[in-house]
Chain A
Amino acid sequence: LNPPALTPEQLIQQIMEAEPPEIYLMKDIRRPLTEANVMMSLTNLADKELVHMISWAKKIPGFVELSLLDQVHMLECCWLEVLMIGLMWRSVNHPGKLIFSPDLSLSREEGSCVQGFVEIFDMLVAATSRVRELKLQREEYVCLKAMILLNSNMCLTSSEGSDELQSRSKLLRLLDTVTDALVWAIAKTGLTFRQQYTRLAHLLMLLSHIRHVSNKGMDHLHCMKMKNMVPLYDLLLEMLDAHIVHSS
């Protein structure tokens, strides 16, 4: 028997409660900033965030009911997008800067000490200014983040096993409930119907920018790894390698 369906408000409440805590680097970044110690700090922080991301995903209502294969694939596909939308959310009130954590924020010139990073930095800052322009609400933000997770591995053809097919139909239903919750959150802003549809389109268009920046970031991280620029921690390394496998 399926548990009683959650109302959009209840679903948003649960997704809000799933939010990870603020994550601190806990070590001052070594100065002067060099490519190596910026990358060291960013990868250290990312590895911590990944641990919290997995427990966040498990708290998204319905996620753990999906097949383990789908859970693994989704997280491997979208992890950097989820990190990036969180970064944008933290940076929304700091134009021109990226607030990686309360104790690690970088300006453009500080970021430019990492070869190839400034292009990604600029894309993230541009996307963040779009988020500021749209006055993204927290309810909308948590719905978008959940959609990034649930929408991430549509491109992967899963085996046609019956449990995989069952998991896929569960996934599509779950994605629709989060879409309903996002529509509900937008409707709360008191916009006319036409303005609501337009806002929904604007928010969903953000997701394609985030996917693009994430792919650029993944390539950059991969080439940092190939250059042995930075020691990658086990979870981050695993997620990077898995993403490369999926996208190749």
Chain B
Amino acid sequence: HTKLLQLLTTKPE
């Protein structure tokens, strides 16, 4: 789940 996890764990802009 690389892309999904990456988007879930990035801080909101």
Contact = CB atoms under 8 A, between A and B. Distances in A.
Chain B contact residues: over half helix, strand or loop, or mixed? Answer: helix
Contacts of A238: 1-4
| Interface residue tally on B, bucketed by range | under 10
Interface residues of A, number: 15
A59 B5 CA distance: 16
A234 B1 contact: no
A239 B4 contact: yes
B12 A76 contact: no
B12 A72 contact: no
B1 A51 contact: no
Contacts, number: 32
Interface string A39-63: 0000000000001001100110000
A55 B4 contact: no
B3 A72 contact: no
B3 A235 contact: yes
Contacts of B12: 55, 58-59
Contacts of B2: 238
Interface string A10-50: 00000000000000000000000000000000000000000
B7 A68 contact: no
Contacts of B4: 54, 72, 75-76, 235, 238-239, 242
Contacts of A58: 8, 12
Interface string A225-243: 0000000001100110010
B5 to A, nearest CB: 7
A242 B1 contact: yes
A71 B6 CA distance: 12
Contact of B7 (A51, A59, A76, A242): A51
Interface string A119-161: 0000000000000000000000000000000000000000000
Interface of B: 1-5, 7-9, 12
15 contacts: A51-B7, A54-B4, A58-B12, A59-B12, A68-B8, A71-B8, A72-B4, A72-B8, A75-B4, A76-B1, A76-B4, A238-B3, A238-B4, A239-B4, A242-B4
Given A76-B4, A234-B3, 8 more contacts: A54-B4, A68-B5, A68-B8, A71-B8, A72-B1, A235-B3, A235-B7, A238-B4
